[in-house]
Amino acid sequence: MSFVRPEARAVIWRWRELIAASVIAVVGASWAAGPGGLLGWVGWALIVAAAALALVGIQRARFRTGTGGPGVVQVDEGQIAYFGPLTGGAVSTSELERLVLDPTSQPTHWLLHQPGQPILHVPINAEGVDALFDVFSVLPGFNTEKMLSTLRKPGSHPVVIWERNPMRPAGLLHS
């Protein structure tokens, strides 16, 4: 038996890092404003750590678009696997060549390109898709803010979010 409505639980879970950062910041502020000394310095360190956690938490919350979509995503040892009701497959993160967001699909899909493999179509609301945030953020030259802003605005065509070796002229790199 749960005392929290499912909708409220979903909101809390979406913003969990930011909530944790707030709690850490409050503890840090109370220690920093308290008796001082070593505990005061630890309090200031907690405040700085809370600010960093809050920044990452906001980005992660913006990336989370919901759950209940078709299929399941698993990330294990550098490999992204998607198991869907109609399609599925796997790509290696080290071999990933291009990342595309396709808003024309229903629901919106991530398109993961790996040379020699069929394109892996992953719905943005599949179970476990949150793990892709960490995978995407370590890609060389990846722009997290570009991804998050593109994810939030409606589009009428697929948008290249990241390419290992850009194939377009420099003037057309920003969509």
Work out how many domains the chain is built from and give that number: 2
Mark whether 86 and 104 lie in a shared domain. Answer: yes
Question: Looking at residues 144-151, what average pLDDT do you find?
Answer: 84
Question: Looking at residues 41-51, what average pLDDT do you find?
Answer: 93
Residue 1 lies in a domain: no
Question: Looking at residues 151-175, what average pLDDT do you find?
Answer: 74
Give the Cα separation of 130 and 146 in Å (integer).
17
pLDDT value of residue 167: 67
Domain hosting 103: range is 72-172
pLDDT value of residue 168: 62
Mark whether 10 and 56 lie in a shared domain. Answer: yes
pTM score of the predicted model: 0.73
Mark whether 160 and 78 lie in a shared domain. Answer: yes
20 contacts 60 by C-beta, under 8 angstroms:
no
Sign of CA dihedral 17, 20, 26, 30: negative
Mark whether 49 and 109 lie in a shared domain. Answer: no
What amino acid occupies position 172?
Answer: L
Q: Which of 127, 67, 19, 12 is nearest to 3 (CA)?
A: 12
Mark whether 56 and 86 lie in a shared domain. Answer: no
For residue 44, pLDDT over 80 is answered with yes
Dihedrals phi, psi of 165, to nearest 5 degrees: -125, 100
